[in-house]
Amino acid sequence: MPVSAAFLLVVIIWSTTPLGIVWSSESISPTFSLLMRMTVAICVGSVLMVALKVKLQWTLKAVRIYLYSSLSVAIGMLFCYLAARHISSGLMSLTFGIAPILSGLLAQKILFEQKFSLLKKVALLISLSGLAIVCSENVTFGATSLLGLGYVFIAVLLFSLSSVLVKSVDIEIHPLSTTMGSLIVSLPFFLVFWLVADGQVNYQDWQPRAIAAVLYLGVFASLIGFLAYFFILQKLPASTVALVVMITPVISTGLGILLNDEHLSWLLIVGGGFVVLGLGLFQFGHKVKWFRAKA
pLDDT at 42: 94
pLDDT band at 103 (very low <50, low <70, confident <90, very high): confident
pLDDT at 295: 52
pTM for this structure?
0.84
What's the mean pLDDT in 67-72?
88
Of the candidates 35, 84, 29, the one whose C-alpha atom is nearest the C-alpha of residue 192 is 35
Q: How far apart are CA 80 and CA 30, in angstroms?
A: 9
Domain that holds residue 84: 3-294
Residue 232, pLDDT > 70, answer yes
The CA radius of gyration of the chain, in Å to the nearest whole number, is 19
Percent of the chain exceeding pLDDT 70 equals 91
pLDDT band at 287 (very low <50, low <70, confident <90, very high): low
Q: Which of 127-131, 151-155, 197-201, 284-288 has the highest mean pLDDT?
A: 151-155
Q: How far apart are CA 50 and CA 10, in angstroms?
A: 24
Count of structural domains, the chain: 1
> Which own/partner pairs from 193-202 qualify as long-range (CB within 8 Å, at least 24 positions apart)?
193/31, 193/34, 193/35, 193/78, 194/29, 194/31, 194/32, 194/34, 194/35, 197/29, 197/30, 197/31, 198/29, 198/31, 198/32, 200/29, 200/32, 201/32, 202/28, 202/29
pLDDT at 192: 93
Percent of the chain exceeding pLDDT 90 equals 29
